[in-house]
Amino acid sequence: MARKLAVIGAGLMGSGIAQVSAQAGWDVVLRDVTDGALARGKDGIAASYEKFVSKGKLEAAAAEQALARITTTTDLDAVSDADVVVEAVFEKIEVKREIFQALDKLAKDEAVLASNTSAIPITKIAAATSRPERVVGTHFFSPVPMMQLCELVRGYKTSDETLAAAREFAESVGKTCIVVNRDVAGFVTTRLISALVVEAAKLYESGVASAEDIDTACKLGFGHAMGPLATADLTGVDILLHATGNIYTESQDEKFAPPEIMRRMVDAGDIGRKSGQGFYAH
Ligand SMILES: NC(=O)c1ccc[n+]([C@@H]2O[C@H](COP(=O)([O-])OP(=O)(O)OC[C@H]3O[C@@H](n4cnc5c(N)ncnc54)[C@H](O)[C@@H]3O)[C@@H](O)[C@H]2O)c1
């Protein structure tokens, strides 16, 4: 019998996780608060499957079967028979804690309770439940169908069994996992990109090199697909300022102190691609 996955939140990440999981044979129930959000999520998944079919990367019949494995609901009770629950709602700790409190009452005792948070400590989310050993971070990357990585995050009380079950789930949907053994701010991935962006912005700010040359150094010197300043523009300078600021506050490590230029860019509204101007004009 196929195993059952419940995904809470049918936005960009939740629908991506549902998509790859259904394709890998999981029975998926996708839960959101409104029928509109569920319809948008499921339509997006159908469109993405169609794209893979048109490119010859997925059989039409397989796409149809995968889509049929995804049901949608606004009822949180639907998690009651899930083996794995992945939460992918807004990045707000109060919302996530409220959901985990409810999951604690509704989910099977042996279910894995996972959060896709990109920055909130798993320990804080797990503390909303009576079973923090069953709570783990499964940090997928966007777009989920294309990105290979899943960053598994151990909360303070996450058990070895839970981590192993989370790994098994992520690998079953085609991802390669890295394990974050201590629940530090920014995990591994956000710490790495923050350190790189902060240093790149400092070099740019002090006139050591142009934005283009800093990015070219990373692309041609280190084989990065994209330079740090172009990445900042794509992600949003505001998002990265917030992320590095959080890591700095928690760690008090000077290397994460956001440089002044990032604050001024955000004050001025030059936050990257979404505003038309960041380190580059778009
Ligand atoms: N967008 C990214 O690139 C990215 C990458 C990695 C991790 N994340 C993390 O994934 C999570 C989701 O991000 P996203 O970009 O998919 O957000 P999103 O805004 O696209 O989707 C969030 C969804 O959650 C729903 N929601 C809100 N409250 C809910 C509730 N109580 N029950 C069920 N659904 C609820 C919303 O209606 C919305 O559909 C966040 O924690 C985010 O930090 C995002």
Name residue, tokens 């760690």: 251
**Average pLDDT of 194-202?**
97
- State in Å: Cα 91 to ligand 1 middle: 7
Question: Has residue 43 got a pLDDT over 80?
Answer: yes
pLDDT tier for residue 1 given thresholds of 50, 70 and 90: low
pLDDT for 213: 98
Instruction: Give the rounded percent of residues in the chain with a pLDDT score beyond 70.
Output: 100
| Domain segments of the chain as ranges | 4-180, 190-273
Q: Note the helical H segments in 58-153.
A: 60-68, 93-106, 122-126
CATH fold match for the domains 4-180 and 190-273: no
Work out the mean pLDDT of the chain and round it to a whole number. 97
Mutate to test the pocket of ligand 1, among 17, 90, 140 (most ligand atoms within 8 A of CB): 90
CA 13–ligand 1 middle distance (angstroms): 6
The ligand 1 atom at the shortest distance from the C-alpha of residue 99 is 31
Residue (of 266, 245, 114) closest to 186 by Cα position = 245
Least confident range from 116-120, 135-139, 275-279: namely 116-120
Under 8 Å between Cβ of 138 and 87:
no
As for ligand 1, residues whose beta carbon falls within 6 Å of it are: 8-14, 31-33, 37, 88-91, 95, 99, 116-118, 139, 141-142
Token reading at 17? 């996780």
d(C-alpha 182, C-alpha 87), whole Å: 20
Q: H/E element holding 73? A: strand 70-73
Query: What's the pLDDT score for residue 2?
Result: 76
| Residue 119: per-residue pLDDT | 86
What's the confidence (pLDDT) of residue 124? 96
Nearest to 10 by CA among 84, 90, 91: 90
Please tell me the residue having the least CA distance from ligand 1 atom 39: 11
Mean pLDDT over 59-77 rounds to 98
Nearest ligand 1 atom, CA 14: 16
Q: Which CATH number fits domain 190-273: 3.40.50.150, 3.40.50.720, 1.10.1060.10, 1.10.1040.10?
A: 1.10.1040.10
Rounded average pLDDT over 138-145: 96
CATH 3.40.50.970 fits 4-180, yes or no: no
Whole-angstrom CA distances from 204 to 146, 180, 198, 244, 264 are: 31, 31, 10, 17, 14
Q: Whole-prediction pTM value? A: 0.93
Determine the residue of 8, 12, 100, 193 to mutate for testing ligand 1's pocket, defined as the one with the most ligand atoms within 8 A of the Cβ atom: 12
Q: Which one-letter DSSP state was computed for residue 22? A: H
Give tens-digit pLDDT for 159-197.
Answer: 999 999 999 999 999 999 999 999 999 999 999 999 999
